[in-house]
Amino acid sequence: MAVTDHVDLATFMKGVERRNPHQPEFTQAVQEVAEDIFDFIEDKEAYHSEQILRRITEPDRVVSFRVCWEDDNGNIRVQRGWRVQNNNAIGPYKGGIRFHPSVTESVLKFLAFEQTFKNALTGLPMGGGKGGSNFNPKGKSDREVMRFCQSFMTELYRHIGADVDVPAGDIGVGGREIGYMFGQYKRITNHFTGVLTGKGMEYGGSMIRPEATGYGAVYFLQEMLKHRGDGVKGKIAVISGSGNVATHAAEKITQMGGKVVTLSDSGGFIHDPDGIDQDKIDWIKIHKTRNRGRISDYVDQYSGATFHEGKNPWHVKCDVALPCATQNELDDEEAKALVANGCIAVAEGANMPSTLKATHVFKDAKIMFAPGKAANAGGVAVSGLEMSQNSERRSWKEEELQKMLLDIMQGIHNRCLAYGDKGNGYVDYVKGANIAGFKKVADAMLAFGVV
């Protein structure tokens, strides 16, 4: 008699926790997906007999390695690097690299797991992966960052390839770091291939890749509002973060006629009731990225704004909220404050920024809530388009890519509706995204047999 997977959710999650001790972020991400998948697969015997859910929650492999480098004072520094290759059922592993002191195996496993479903949702042939290190680029000189990136790639290069695994940027990894890593890959292998995305325009990058995640999140927000006969114009938006995703989300909201009143970093948030317009966004981009400054400096630049040290912006009254900083930055109390203040829609620019309890608050209140795997998929989608351009040795024009990004975000919205539209005016986007992403990957795994 074959063993099947007919256990209840609590028993299944106990098994996940037992197999992944001390990995709270990973088990949280699995729980969020499993809550929706359990209902969906209930009557689908093939998924049970083939143990698809258990197989999908076990990464294909996790590579961990030492990264040794020398700082400007001649000290030898030792860090840890990882690449989590989660699932390549529908295409080469694809997902960013994060450099941040909070990086652990658990964080990267959660991100690689989420990435698998997100990439499936885009409709492009990409598997899921994620990598990174506990290296902190803050306060390091350019040369130190370069030496770290070169050392990181000296190990990573043997695990990646244009048809194997194609990393990109994430927190702490922008154009500068991608450049150093691509240069080292090319030096070691003597191959000029599209092995990384987020590259500079001079050496194979794609137009609108830097903008794609933030813009895509706002396109998704627009689709949700449109579905209810509404739009972004005139809406007050609260955004967290002030990095790549947050600043481009703010830019697109502003272009669409909305008003952004907050941005933040790990030191606190700024509140500008006059609105953070394009000139102010441009100043933040330069100040934070090029000058490596802090968001608190904004209040010295623009009168009328206030800085709130050590706080998140979720108590500020708004119509729409876009958490665009990091995981678990919005808890259930803050979710309740948003709902109580009249927020009608939340689109996650970051990965898993809302805690599990916070997502339940949004669902219970029946406000529009787009999980990161749907709302922030625009970045990886344009990375997928960068891979296509590299393979074809060509580059598409900005207008073509803008149109493709919008089409992809509308496609994701439609896929969420297919499985999340309750038919009573409420759309459960979390359920829709989880099931649509799961089904594509699971069906490919079924086709391969037991591997």
137 binds ligand NDP (CB under 6 A): no
Q: Which of residues 197-216 bind ligand NDP (CB under 6 A)?
A: 213
Q: Indicate the residue among 32 and 170 with the shorter CB distance to ligand NDP.
A: 170
DSSP-assigned beta bridge partners for residue 320: 237, 345
Residue 436, C-beta contacts closer than 8 angstroms, at least 6 positions apart: 120, 121, 415, 416, 418, 419
Q: Indicate the residue among 267 and 273 with the shorter CB distance to ligand NDP.
A: 267
DSSP code of residue 402: H
DSSP-assigned beta bridge partners for residue 68: 78
171 binds ligand NDP (CB under 6 A): yes
326 binds ligand NDP (CB under 6 A): yes
| Residue selected from 184, 206, 254, 376 as contacting ligand NDP according to rule CB under 6 A | 376
For residues 239 and 325, is the Cβ–Cβ distance under 8 A?
Answer: no
Q: Which part of the chain contacts ligand NDP (CB under 6 A), choosing from 7-15, 119-127, 345-353, 412-420? A: 345-353
Residue 299 vs residues 271, 284, 294, 296, 307: alpha-carbon distances, Å? 9, 11, 11, 6, 7
Q: Indicate the residue among 261 and 325 with the shorter CB distance to ligand NDP.
A: 325
**Of these residues, 130, 285, 288, 431, which one is catalytic?**
130
Instruction: Report the C-alpha gap between 319 and 138 in whole angstroms.
Output: 34
351 binds ligand NDP (CB under 6 A): yes
Q: Which of residues 237-276 bind ligand NDP (CB under 6 A)?
A: 241-246, 264-267
Q: Which part of the chain contacts ligand NDP (CB under 6 A), choosing from 84-92, 170-178, 228-236, 415-423? A: 170-178
Task: Kindly provide the residue ranges of all beta strands, DSSP E only, lying in 90-148, ordered along the sequence.
Answer: 93-99, 128-133
For residues 410 and 12, is the Cβ–Cβ distance under 8 A?
Answer: no
Residue 314 vs residues 126, 173, 225: alpha-carbon distances, Å? 34, 26, 20
Q: Which part of the chain contacts ligand NDP (CB under 6 A), choosing from 58-66, 231-239, 324-332, 402-410? A: 324-332
Chain residue whose CB lies nearest ligand NDP: 243
Q: Indicate the residue among 57 and 213 with the shorter CB distance to ligand NDP.
A: 213
Lateral strand order in the sheet of 368-370 = 306-309, 268-271, 259-265, 236-239, 320-322, 345-347, 368-370
350 binds ligand NDP (CB under 6 A): yes
Active site residue 130: yes
Active site (catalytic) residues: 130
Give contact residues for ligand NDP (rule: CB under 6 A).
169-172, 213, 241-246, 264-267, 324-326, 329, 349-351, 376, 379
